Structure 1
Amino acid sequence: MRNLKLLCSVAGAALMVHGVGHAQDVRAQDEEQIVFADLRVPAEILVSASRADDLLLKQYTGSALVITAEQIEQRQTRDIADVLRDVPGVAVAGIAGQTQIRLRGSEANHVLVLVDGIEVSDPYAGEFDIGTLQAEPGARVEVLRGAQSALYGPDAIGGVVAYESASGRSQPGFAARIEGGTQGTINGALRYGAAGDSWDAALSAVVVSTDGQPNARGGTRDIGRDSYTVSGKGSVEVAEGIALRAAARFIRTEGQTNDSDFDSASPTFGFTIDSPGVTFTNEAVYALVGARAEMLDGRWTHDLSAQIAEVDRETDSPFGLTSASEGDRVKASYVTAFKLADAHNLTFAADFERESFRNALAASGGFTGRRAVEQVGFVGEYRYAGEAFDLSAALRHDINDRFADATTFRVGAGYRVTDTTRLRAAGGSGVKNPGFFELFGFVDGRFIGNENLRPEKSTGWEVGLDQDLGDSARVSVAYFDSELEGEIFTTFPPPNFIATPANRTTVSEQRGVEVSLNARLAAQWSLDAAYSYLDAEENGIEEVRRPQHIASAALTWRAPGDAASATLVVRHNGETPDVAFTDPSFVPVRVILDDYTLVNLNARVKLADGISAFARVDNLLDERYEQVFSFVSPGRSAVVGVEARF
């Protein structure tokens, strides 16, 4: 791969400084403790479930799951997309250059992704390529399932995925890892965190590189990639009750990809074929600055923040640049929260957001200037947290300069029936404005945008049960039901059959069941498992890339004194409907992708204080499968590595 020398240099430096992240970013010193057998861990905290203060998971009235830093480490996760497969209600489908996530049957652009509080979706595509998000030492992920537009506005119909890197206070010192393996894989990570009485700071760098494997049926061309991430965050208390914070991130991913065969006379028409010289490059810069002030002994808080995102994407061929786009976002938010009493909390928020887009390849035709949309949103939120009863309500009104104004809501309640049983229910609405590609996109002879599109609107509800099984296990079950109106889909009108988006006049329905289990089986054994059943239909027809059945299980063994550990991860994806463009008219043909089961196995052994060696085999059984029609996913791969911390 290109940049191999650079990768080796970075990896070597990472190994020399030692260290790996294990600590989760703990946000309070006096958090309540949950006991699992003989292990005491801090109670899980949700950062994104409120526009104000962090919220204990046990007080949240909807469905959420936290993937801790320890779990990410145990599964030796490198791409965050992989560990999201272990979350109930999440479907992942990826190819080179674009990996999508869908929550509860929603579209990929219905999921809001936050990274250290920054909205990271590409304004042009309307969604975030989750395949570009690499796991940093000490990072954690939380997933809120169900409409969150009442808190965050458009883009959150399906829910929120919030990734948070570790702070310098939660994980001080150096951390590093280096690994190499089959398919020319070289991965490395380096992190340093520090903190003082009134400040903390952290800096991280991650490199993921592989020569890859063929992704065309019967193909021989390896599809590799190089991904680089550099990030930093910090805060400082400049006076009593006044703190400043900042975060920034740079991501660059480059690699090979393949095109489909568009020769109607070819026997492989509509299938992915080896396409030498076809590459992609995605580059993004994100930044956030904020200030927080506390008054009345911390009962009244004010938070002001501003953030930017700049996302550039392009694809190349042997004949030159084939597509290029530039998407930009500027966002400012003010949040004030007041604690009326220990159990009552009121929050008001105001958001301003401006997104702009430019087609950076004039030769592609269509609109090549810059277009922009602006939006102002106002949020009111109330939370009550009692001994046995919890209540939450949020209302948001968005003022749009291009689309009709929208009002969304969310209400929820939870009741602890016994010390071990909690019932909860929630309902709400969501909205998604059309993206720039849907409005103005243009691909010569294949796609024309539609400037008359309307926002999509969703309403839904859920009921759930959280049950503790003794002191060593917890199971959560939820049933959800939602409807989507005005769904944006692609039409192929005759006589030219050129694709163009439109709003459906029928209703799309999503309903299903989600189950998750966290258990301590014995002193050295733990199990995390999840299962989802989904029935997602539009006018009686199954929605594509949304399998009915998804299941996963992660079994971990740890030796006494943490001298060694091993984790077995099994992930099953049921049969999945998709579309194939194998008809010369380019009208899509529905196909069914086979189900598949992936088995990953890893182990770790302690070599000395702060230094350990590890090994991992992904897709142990060498399963051949497709997440997207005719794009073959990677087979078996293996790596070995060393990590250290001090």
Structure 2
Amino acid sequence: MKFQSLFAGASICALALSASALAQDEAVSDAGDAPQTEDGEVEYIAIPDARRIDSNTILVRADRTDSGLSLSDYTGSATIVSAEEMEQRQVRDVADVLRDVPGVAVSSVAGQTQLRLRGSEANHVLVLVDGIEVSDPFSGEFDIGTLQAEIGSRVEVLRGPQSALYGSDAIGGVVAYDSRSFSGFGARIEGGTNNTINGAARWGYNLNGFDVSLSATVVSTDGEPNARPINGGGTRDIGRDSYTVSGKIAVPVTDNFALRAAARYIRTEGQFNDQNFFLTGPTFGFVVDSPETRFENEAIYALVGAKLELADNRWSHDLSAQLADITRDTFGAFGPSNASEGDRLKASYVTSYRPTGGHSITFAADWEREQFRNATPGGFAFNGQREIENVGLVGEYRYAGERFDFSAAIRHDINDRFADETTFQVGAGFNLTESTRLRASAGSGIKNPGFFELFGFVDGRFIGNADLTPEKSTSWEVGIEQSLLGGDATLSATYFDATLEDEIFTTFPAPTFVATPANRTTDSNQRGVELALSAQIAEQWSLNAAYAYLDAEENGVTEVRRPESIASAALTWTAPQEAASATLVIRHNGSTEDLAFLDPSFVPTRVTLDDYTLVNLNARVRLAAGLYLFARAENLLDENYEQVFSFVSPGRSVIAGFEATF
């Protein structure tokens, strides 16, 4: 492709730029200049996508270093949801707050919550939790519904291909959850509708670079029916219990050498309903009450790392290793029905040199091995172990000037199963005035087929295709950010255009019509507009709003589960001295196409899911120093809606509780 070759060449040239090319511009301050709390911790300021033109908003996942990157210097599209915003909206499931990020579509059923960025597929999104890749090697994606918000946590979202920095899983973008440093003790307990009881506790100690924290969350609910009330059905409650324990530690060995480690354990148990695929009856293809069907998911994640700073902290060396071990089991009326075991080992070396003048040059090398075993009982599937290895080499150049920013990255992946691939990313930003910033970027992405697609899971129901080739994407975007009202409001607008080749889809070939994946011979196109507004509209009032329009089509046919329009608004009132606060959140999801299996041939038919609007309202009152009473109502108007065909979503719920911090 001429377009790809052009920008890949530009990336290579950019890596060779001399550090003196733009040395006349003054360097922008880094994370060390960011505002700090009383205990010296960096205070992260978050303005979703629409951003103030300063260097004090820190984006820590936009490059491969952890030294921090000014959001105002970033040349792509990014959103930060701060710990303050998470607290204001009383976020418990991280997936919920991602609905407020422009370009993010969320669809959820019991046992699986998916993210789609800018019309990409759910397995095109790389999810990082405290720097650890958390996707399941079996499906190639992470069930974001299992990620519970810890006290003080924050989220970053990078939209558009990030494969040049992060490899295959980041073809659509990156979602990074960070539990952050925490000094002191915090706990909350709450309960309400559907016998819901949630709890969280966090302890941390931070002094002179030594940082340690422990956290635990519990979510338990009896739930409610998720099947339509057809022929007396739709009465079985679908509940879940989720437990998370995590910890982090950072130890400064010397002034320029530090060690770190992080670990997380997640266990989720819950009920789910099957679809009726018996050939007779009016509920064929619909979700029906399915007694005794349930799932158990368990995941262990860990990371260890060491960092060395040389040349007055301008040259860093970071070596890390991480693992992920995920098991998934489902059960039916007659015992175990499906099971999978997946694990990932990854080692990374990242070195970055930051000379004077706002320049930085980074090199990274990744080694990754993924293993998978289909543990489904009954002899209906191959139960042996499969394995895939990958080596990735990354080069990146960044320049952050007083008015002009530039970045370029290139990555070469060496695959043991697929052809080697090269991806790129290049972007530039220019401060036209003190209040107006223009930016543009282009990039390519790659997504290797997953174990599920290559090898299937149950013979006779889904047959794998070992001849699949990777999906490839090329995209570009342009954006403008405008500061208004003397900096009290910021508006941003972005237009993007992406083309996906060799898209993997499910086909049902005759004469058996058994499902199997294949690569499309036609292109999938995604283009759209993202708008975001952040405003301090009065001394005690703030507003964050977002809107995204998406046109996602494959060969002229609308892609499923990608709503054309998504909008959200969060209005927050805060009393003087923060003695009380209240937040109203409105989220609108436009109508969307989905697939329904209503024909005994199992060839899917297309259906349209109605649009819906969710209204959430919460309030919080300080009873004493460090002690708060809070309450919230979710789906306040009791909207009846479906995110996936025939799966009814939860109705109104009311929760109340206490929170204490010391």
TM over 0.5: yes
Tell me if structure 1 keeps the 8 A contact 2:190–2:658: yes
The residue matched to 2:123 in structure 1 has which SS?
A: helix
Q: Which of 617, 633, 638 is the matching residue for 1:601?
A: 617
Alignment of 1:327-476 (within 5 A): 327-469=342-484, 470-476=486-492
Tell me if structure 2 keeps the 8 A contact 1:155–1:432: yes
The residue matched to 1:43 in structure 2 has which SS?
A: coil
> What do residues 14-66 of structure 1 show as CA deviations (whole Å, max 9, x unaligned)?
xxxxxxxxxxxxx9452169899xx9999321111011232111000000000
Tell me if structure 1 keeps the 8 A contact 2:31–2:70: no
Q: Which of 58, 61, 68 is the matching residue for 1:48?
A: 61
Tell me if structure 1 keeps the 8 A contact 2:53–2:72: no
Distance 1:35 1:382 in 2: 25
Structure 1 residue 195 displacement after superposition: 1.9
> What do residues 245-301 of structure 1 show as CA deviations (whole Å, max 9, x unaligned)?
000000011100000001111110000000010001111000000000000101111
1:202 equivalent to 2:203? Answer no
Specify the alignment match of 2:145 in structure 1. Answer: 131
Alpha-carbon spacing, 1:260–1:83, altered in 2? closer, same or farther (3 Å)? same
In structure 2, what residue type is equivalent to 1:30?
D
In structure 2, what residue type is equivalent to 1:223?
I
In structure 2, what residue type is equivalent to 1:90?
V
Q: Which of 569, 576, 584 is the matching residue for 2:592?
A: 576
The residue matched to 2:414 in structure 1 has which SS?
A: strand
> What do residues 290-337 of structure 1 show as CA deviations (whole Å, max 9, x unaligned)?
000000101111000000000110110110111000010000000001
Q: Which of 247, 255, 259 is the matching residue for 2:270?
A: 255
Distance 2:209 2:82 in 1: 26
Tell me if structure 1 keeps the 8 A contact 2:34–2:57: no
In structure 2, what residue type is equivalent to 1:604?
R
Q: Which of 211, 217, 222 is the matching residue for 1:211?
A: 222
Distance 2:577 2:388 in 1: 56
Q: Which of 175, 180, 186 is the matching residue for 2:191?
A: 180
1:562 equivalent to 2:573? Answer no
Distance 1:389 1:308 in 2: 39
The residue matched to 2:169 in structure 1 has which SS?
A: coil
Distance 2:144 2:46 in 1: 33
In structure 2, what residue type is equivalent to 1:128?
F
Distance 1:552 1:367 in 2: 45
Alignment of 1:236-247 (within 5 A): 236-247=251-262
Distance 1:502 1:366 in 2: 20
Tell me if structure 2 keeps the 8 A contact 1:364–1:443: no
Alpha-carbon spacing, 1:478–1:364, altered in 2? closer, same or farther (3 Å)? farther
1:633 equivalent to 2:636? Answer no
TM-score (norm 1): 0.94
Alpha-carbon spacing, 1:40–1:592, altered in 2? closer, same or farther (3 Å)? closer
Structure 1 residue 366 displacement after superposition: 2.5
In structure 2, what residue type is equivalent to 1:563?
A
Specify the alignment match of 1:18 in structure 2. Answer: none
> What do residues 534-578 of structure 1 show as CA deviations (whole Å, max 9, x unaligned)?
000000000000000000000000011111110000000000100
Q: Which of 530, 545, 566 is the matching residue for 1:550?
A: 566
Tell me if structure 2 keeps the 8 A contact 1:323–1:364: no
Specify the alignment match of 1:530 in structure 2. Answer: 546
In structure 1, what residue type is equivalent to 2:422?
T
Distance 1:402 1:580 in 2: 34
In structure 2, what residue type is equivalent to 1:543?
E
Structure 1 residue 157 displacement after superposition: 1.0
The residue matched to 2:161 in structure 1 has which SS?
A: coil
1:223 equivalent to 2:238? Answer yes
Specify the alignment match of 1:512 in structure 2. Answer: 528
Structure 1 residue 234 displacement after superposition: 1.1
TM-score (norm 2): 0.91
Q: Which of 97, 115, 132 is the matching residue for 1:118?
A: 132
Structure 1 residue 447 displacement after superposition: 0.9
Structure 1 residue 240 displacement after superposition: 2.1
Structure 1 residue 442 displacement after superposition: 2.6
1:144 equivalent to 2:154? Answer no
Distance 1:637 1:443 in 2: 38
Alpha-carbon spacing, 1:156–1:275, altered in 2? closer, same or farther (3 Å)? same
**Deviating more after overlay: 357-366 vs 66-75:** 357-366
- Structure 1: runs of 5+ lacking an equivalent: 1-26
Specify the alignment match of 2:318 in structure 1. Answer: 303
In structure 1, what residue type is equivalent to 2:544?
D
1:103 equivalent to 2:117? Answer yes
Tell me if structure 1 keeps the 8 A contact 2:46–2:82: no
**Deviating more after overlay: 493-502 vs 437-446:** 437-446
The residue matched to 1:363 in structure 2 has which SS?
A: coil
- Structure 2: runs of 5+ lacking an equivalent: 1-29, 36-42
Alpha-carbon spacing, 1:228–1:601, altered in 2? closer, same or farther (3 Å)? same
The residue matched to 2:378 in structure 1 has which SS?
A: helix
Tell me if structure 1 keeps the 8 A contact 2:542–2:571: yes
In structure 2, what residue type is equivalent to 1:121?
S
Distance 1:102 1:224 in 2: 25
Distance 1:454 1:577 in 2: 26
Alpha-carbon spacing, 1:196–1:504, altered in 2? closer, same or farther (3 Å)? same
In structure 1, what residue type is equivalent to 2:34?
E
Alignment of 1:304-319 (within 5 A): 304-319=319-334
In structure 2, what residue type is equivalent to 1:375?
N
Distance 1:195 1:626 in 2: 45
Tell me if structure 2 keeps the 8 A contact 1:44–1:66: no
In structure 1, what residue type is equivalent to 2:466?
E
The residue matched to 1:71 in structure 2 has which SS?
A: helix
Structure 1 residue 368 displacement after superposition: 1.0
Tell me if structure 1 keeps the 8 A contact 2:339–2:377: no
- What is the root-mean-square deviation of aligned Cα atoms in Å? 1.5
The residue matched to 1:264 in structure 2 has which SS?
A: coil
Tell me if structure 2 keeps the 8 A contact 1:35–1:41: no
Structure 1 residue 533 displacement after superposition: 0.1
Tell me if structure 2 keeps the 8 A contact 1:438–1:450: yes
> What do residues 573-619 of structure 1 show as CA deviations (whole Å, max 9, x unaligned)?
00010000010000000000000000000001110010010000000
Specify the alignment match of 1:20 in structure 2. Answer: none
Specify the alignment match of 2:22 in structure 1. Answer: none
Distance 2:347 2:536 in 1: 43
